[in-house]
């Protein structure tokens, strides 16, 4: 797993306050995570059940496994939110 450092000076160029910009990125990451959960659950509901209600039985469903692996390959919500902030895609303003 690679760790990519984030240059705070880049964030400082995009916002008046670095800490507020990071808070905005965190809120955006939560939104992205919620959207991913909704999408994942919608896709899981389309998969037919195995008909077994026994929790002790370990049965792998190939369709469910494929969906889970596809979601694991997606970028993590916090990385995606920081990239959106650095690309100028996230706009925020103060409430009055």
Tens of pLDDT, residue by residue, the chain (96 residues): 678 788 888 888 888 888 888 999 999 999 999 999 999 889 888 887 666 655 545 567 788 888 888 888 898 999 999 999 989 898 877 777
Report DSSP letters for 28-58, one per residue. HHHHHHHHHHHHHHHHHHTSPP-S---TTS-
Domain map (residue ranges) of the chain: 8-46+61-86
Token pair 């905005």: residue: 24
- The answer to whether 96 and 80 are in contact (CB under 8 A) is no
pLDDT number for residue 52 = 60
């Amino acid at each position: 797993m690679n760790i990519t450092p984030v240059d705070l000076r880049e964030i400082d160029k995009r916002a008046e306050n670095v800490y507020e910009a990071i808070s905005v990125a965190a809120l955006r990451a939560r939104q992205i995570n919620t959207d991913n959960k909704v999408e994942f659950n919608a896709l899981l509901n389309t998969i037919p059940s195995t008909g077994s209600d026994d929790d002790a039985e370990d049965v792998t469903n190939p369709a469910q496994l494929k969906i889970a692996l596809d979601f694991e390959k997606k970028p993590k919500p916090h990385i995606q939110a920081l990239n959106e902030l650095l690309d100028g895609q996230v706009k925020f303003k103060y409430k009055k």
